[in-house]
């Protein structure tokens, strides 16, 4: 049957349900994020908000009536729940003061859904397994609470122990709950040690719950502290049922030693009268006079036992209010237009409260910090990419051309040093040749001990000079090369120090890799030799004469007396040696200059280019890893921001639509909420004028005739119900 109320519930669901996914996705994304991720501080609040939105959506879509049960530990709340549901639910409600909310509603089969603060849920079908599970959870929670207290912190399960149980949803076959649509909500016992978030919990349900039931044992009825927090409930709920749990089997001791029925058994109403006249505070008295507070003295244990046993008419007890009367008053309230107004108004207020909370969370400094971090990460990503682009340009540069210019700049100095060194070497060579003819040294000694060392000294001196001027040029800056402004800028951007590379390379050049072996091309056959008298007499061949004088051609190591050198070699041999040495030294000097330029400067150039490319590759790899990490973090954070942006967008839409629903339904006459409507029948127009229950008075002139008749019929039916005392 379609009514304004069902139409409101459908519209309400369409407005709020789209928020559930982005809430869950935002919380999940933050849950999976790294520990240094900004915004994690709001994850617990987002999860909490998600739970509350889900509860509100479920309540309205299923038109559930939440009934909260409060009271000290062991006051009889569990027994009361058994009685109301007419089904045994104590396997959950009698757990050892675990500080979670327990929701009991009708279901085709018995099941228990445990939801943690992290959002993770588990389902149980075996009460024993559930009991063992929560017992373990209770021990773990106690340890975490003590740990937080020892650290001087106020325990918050969402931060200190997200695996703590937030709520337990109990579904069981309970026709009483099915008919009324009631959901019993068992709250943690008052004065329990683990009552973190208790005040927030009760206030959160102010706009979600229809009414509250406060259970207290008759023994505690006159304890002032029991009602300290109960008085807060008076400001939170428009209707509270105070159930005084009696013990009808209680006995008192008579003066003669006999056990006689106690006052609770004989005349429990006297206890209530005494409480109202002597112990009830002014706020409680005022609430009772206004009809918002009603008191029911009931033996809950006896009543629940009878209802579970199927006894619909248990034996009445003198002075007690029948449990059925309490049940009937509760049902009448849940079926009344007063409740409908509260249901509709509470739902709208609760939705607005939660949307305001969503707005607060979305404007949290941690979210702003996350947005700033995304901007910073994006700037850093662009900077790293800019550096990698610089590396790419540097890597494609023709560094052989860049470093080739260094050879040209060093060439004049090298040639000048070669000229000076060659002049000195030439003088040394003349001296060496003259000295050889004046000593008994062998031809091999001339080459190995005199000429080769002389040429090597020239090579070493020139190599030392080349290394020196190269080092000076390299150490003067930019590794000895002239860089364009763009290239220098790219090196700076890439973070590559070409000066360091130049210093490292030039210091690693070794002499052994620079100087070459010297092979002076002098042979005995090149020397003109004069034959002696016996050579002519004996007709000795010239080669044999040379062998006898100088030694084996491959190793002419025979020492030659000075007079023999003068007689047998003479000026012709000296001239021949000078010519051969002159030819060799000219070629050697020229080749050595080019060789050393290539070996010293060229080796430096090749090694520097290789080191530069290695450095660029290494730097690029580092930047690649860095940019990959930045991209990973960016994607992670942008994903979170995307979920939050979706949530913000949908929350904004929901806020405006909730305001529209408030204007559309907030001023509707209560009785009209349950009037059947035709499928295509237009909505009832209302004017903002207060009616008897705070709603607007409908203007018949603006209503179709069929609606006027329906309203009048509903009003007549309502009057008849009031006159007959039938609140159904």
In three state form, how does the secondary structure of 503-536 look?
HHHHHCCCHHHCCCCCCCCCCHHHCCCCCCHHHH
CATH code assigned at 221: 3.40.50.300
pLDDT in the model for residue 690: 35
Q: Are residues 610 and 468 in the same domain?
A: yes
Interval 162-170 mean pLDDT: 84
Q: What is the pLDDT of residues 528-542, one digit of tens each?
A: 888 877 778 878 888
Q: Is residue 650 part of a domain?
A: no
Interval 636-658 mean pLDDT: 92
Asked if 313 contacts 278 with a C-beta cutoff of 8 angstroms, the reply is no
Pairwise CA distance, residues 524 & 553, whole Å: 6
Backbone phi and psi for residue 33, each to the nearest 5 degrees, phi listed first? -70, 165
pLDDT in the model for residue 712: 36
Q: Is residue 538 part of a domain?
A: no
Asked if 192 contacts 97 with a C-beta cutoff of 8 angstroms, the reply is yes
Q: How confident is the model at residue 164 (pLDDT cuts 50, 70, 90)?
A: confident
Q: Are residues 237 and 304 in the same domain?
A: yes
Q: What is the pLDDT of residues 652-675, one digit of tens each?
A: 999 999 999 888 887 777 677 666
Q: Is residue 514 part of a domain?
A: yes
Torsional class of 216: left (φ above 0), alpha (ψ -120 to 50), beta (otherwise) = beta
Coil/strand/helix, residue 156: coil
Asked if 16 contacts 208 with a C-beta cutoff of 8 angstroms, the reply is no
Q: How confident is the model at residue 2 (pLDDT cuts 50, 70, 90)?
A: low
Which residue, among 200, 174, 344, has the nearest Cα to 694 in the 3D structure?
A: 344
pLDDT in the model for residue 453: 93
pLDDT in the model for residue 260: 63
Pairwise CA distance, residues 632 & 606, whole Å: 39
Asked if 527 contacts 569 with a C-beta cutoff of 8 angstroms, the reply is yes
Pairwise CA distance, residues 505 & 603, whole Å: 9
Q: Are residues 464 and 329 in the same domain?
A: no
Q: Are residues 351 and 407 in the same domain?
A: no
Cβ within 8 Å of residue 56, ≥6 positions away: 16, 208, 347, 350, 351, 354
Q: How far is CA 615 from CA 494, 497, 644, in A?
A: 10, 9, 43
Q: How confident is the model at residue 219 (pLDDT cuts 50, 70, 90)?
A: confident
Give the rounded percent of residues in the chain with a pLDDT score beyond 90.
22
Coil/strand/helix, residue 186: strand
Q: Are residues 320 and 257 in the same domain?
A: yes
Q: How confident is the model at residue 207 (pLDDT cuts 50, 70, 90)?
A: low
Q: Is residue 124 part of a domain?
A: yes
Pairwise CA distance, residues 268 & 165, whole Å: 39
Domain boundary among 643, 661, 686: 643
Domain boundary among 643, 659, 685: 643
Q: Is residue 278 part of a domain?
A: yes
DSSP designation for 698: P
Q: How far is CA 440 from CA 36, 443, 559, 566, 578, in A?
A: 88, 9, 5, 11, 19
Domain holding 593, by residue range, is 382-519+562-643
Q: Is residue 375 part of a domain?
A: no
Q: How confident is the model at residue 513 (pLDDT cuts 50, 70, 90)?
A: low
Q: Are residues 345 and 397 in the same domain?
A: no
The two three-digit tokens of residue 561, written as one number: 């007396």
The two three-digit tokens of residue 118, written as one number: 């992290």
Q: Are residues 263 and 403 in the same domain?
A: no
Pairwise CA distance, residues 7 & 301, whole Å: 41
Examine the pLDDT at 723 and tell me if it is beyond 60: no
Backbone phi and psi for residue 182, each to the nearest 5 degrees, phi listed first? -80, 145
Which residue, among 706, 8, 723, has the nearest Cα to 341 in the 3D structure?
A: 8
Examine the pLDDT at 707 and tell me if it is beyond 50: no
Examine the pLDDT at 128 and tell me if it is beyond 90: no
Q: Are residues 109 and 154 in the same domain?
A: yes
Q: Is residue 118 part of a domain?
A: yes
Q: Are residues 308 and 351 in the same domain?
A: yes
Q: Are residues 719 and 578 in the same domain?
A: no
pLDDT in the model for residue 716: 40
Q: Is residue 663 part of a domain?
A: no
Q: Are residues 355 and 391 in the same domain?
A: no
The count of domains in the chain is 3
Q: What is the pLDDT of residues 360-410, one digit of tens each?
A: 988 888 888 888 989 999 999 999 999 999 999 999 999 999 988 888 888
Q: What is the pLDDT of residues 307-345, one digit of tens each?
A: 888 766 555 555 556 788 888 888 888 878 778 887 888
pLDDT in the model for residue 704: 39
Q: What is the mean pLDDT of the chain?
A: 80
Q: How confident is the model at residue 201 (pLDDT cuts 50, 70, 90)?
A: low
Q: Are residues 199 and 113 in the same domain?
A: yes
Pairwise CA distance, residues 212 & 169, whole Å: 18
pLDDT in the model for residue 697: 34
Which residue, among 195, 242, 236, has the nearest Cα to 216 in the 3D structure?
A: 242
pTM: 0.62
């Amino acid at each position: 049957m379609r009514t304004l109320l069902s139409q409101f519930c459908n519209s309400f669901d369409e407005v709020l349900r789209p928020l559930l996914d982005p809430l869950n996705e935002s919380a999940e994304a933050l849950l999976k994020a790294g520990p240094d991720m900004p915004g994690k501080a709001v994850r617990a609040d987002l999860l909490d908000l998600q739970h509350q939105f889900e509860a509100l959506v479920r309540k309205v879509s299923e038109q559930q009536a939440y009934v909260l049960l409060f009271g000290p530990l062991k006051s009889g709340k569990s027994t009361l729940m058994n009685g109301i549901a007419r089904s045994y639910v104590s396997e959950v409600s009698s757990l050892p003061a675990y500080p979670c909310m327990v929701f009991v509603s009708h279901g085709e089969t018995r099941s228990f859904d445990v939801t943690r603060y992290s959002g993770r849920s588990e389902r149980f079908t075996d009460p024993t397994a559930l009991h063992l599970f929560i017992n373990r959870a209770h021990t773990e929670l106690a340890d975490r609470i003590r740990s937080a207290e020892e650290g001087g912190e106020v325990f918050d399960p969402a931060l200190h122990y997200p695996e703590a149980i937030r709520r337990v949803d109990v579904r069981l076959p309970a026709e009483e709950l099915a008919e009324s649509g009631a959901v019993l909500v068992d709250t943690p016992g008052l004065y329990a040690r683990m009552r973190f978030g208790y005040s927030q919990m009760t206030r959160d349900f102010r706009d979600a719950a229809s009414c509250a039931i406060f259970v207290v044992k008759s023994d505690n009825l006159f304890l002032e502290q029991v009602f300290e927090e109960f008085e807060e409930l008076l400001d939170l709920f428009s209707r509270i049922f105070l159930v005084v749990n009696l013990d009808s089997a209680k006995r008192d001791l008579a003066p003669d030693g006999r056990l006689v029925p106690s006052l609770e058994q004989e005349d429990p109403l006297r206890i209530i009268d005494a409480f109202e006249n002597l112990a009830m505070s002014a706020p409680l008295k005022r609430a009772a006079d206004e009809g918002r507070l009603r008191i029911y003295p009931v033996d809950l244990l006896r009543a629940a036992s009878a209802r579970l046993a199927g006894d619909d008419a248990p034996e009445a007890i003198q002075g007690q209010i029948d449990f059925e009367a309490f049940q009937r008053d509760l049902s009448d309230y849940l079926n009344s237009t007063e409740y409908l107004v509260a249901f509709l108004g509470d739902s709208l207020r609760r939705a607005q409260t939660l949307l305001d909370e969503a707005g607060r969370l979305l404007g949290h400094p941690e979210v702003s910090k996350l947005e700033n971090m995304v901007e910073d990460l994006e700037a850093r990503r662009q900077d790293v990419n800019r550096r990698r682009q610089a590396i790419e340009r540097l890597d494609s540069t023709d560094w052989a051309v860049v470093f080739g210019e260094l050879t040209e700049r060093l060439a004049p100095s090298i040639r000048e040093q070669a000229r000076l060194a060659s002049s000195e070497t030439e003088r040394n060579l003349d001296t060496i040749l003259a000295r050889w003819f004046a000593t008994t040294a062998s031809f091999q000694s001339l080459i190995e001990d005199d000429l080769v060392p002389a040429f090597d000294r020239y090579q070493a001196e020139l190599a030392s000079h080349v290394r020196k001027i190269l080092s000076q040029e390299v150490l003067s800056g930019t590794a000895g090369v002239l860089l364009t402004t763009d290239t220098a800028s790219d090196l700076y951007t890439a973070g590559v120090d070409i000066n360091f590379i130049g210093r490292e390379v030039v210091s690693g050049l070794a002499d052994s890799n620079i100087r070459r072996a010297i092979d002076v091309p002098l042979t005995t056959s090149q020397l003109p030799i004069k034959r002696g008298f016996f050579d002519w007499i004996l007709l000795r061949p010239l080669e044999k004469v040379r062998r006898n004088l100088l030694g084996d051609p491959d190793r002419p190591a025979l020492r030659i007396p000075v007079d023999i050198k003068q007689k047998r070699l003479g000026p012709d041999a000296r001239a021949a040696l000078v010519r051969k040495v002159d030819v060799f030294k000219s070629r050697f000097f020229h080749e050595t200059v080019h060789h050393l330029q290539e070996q010293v400067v060229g080796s430096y150039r090749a090694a520097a280019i290789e080191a530069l490319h290695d450095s660029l590759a290494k730097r690029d790899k580092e930047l690649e890893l860095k940019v990959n990490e930045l991209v990973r973090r960016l994607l992670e954070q942008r994903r979170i921001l995307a979920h939050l942006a979706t949530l913000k967008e949908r929350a904004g839409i929901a806020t405006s639509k909730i305001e529209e629903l408030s204007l559309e339904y907030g001023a509707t006459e209560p009785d009209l909420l349950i009037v059947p409507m035709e499928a295509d029948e237009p909505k009832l127009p209302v004017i903002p004028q207060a009616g008897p229950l705070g709603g607007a008075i409908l203007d018949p002139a603006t209503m179709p005739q069929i609606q006027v008749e329906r309203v009048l019929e509903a009003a007549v039916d309502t009057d008849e119900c009031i006159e007959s005392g039938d609140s159904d």
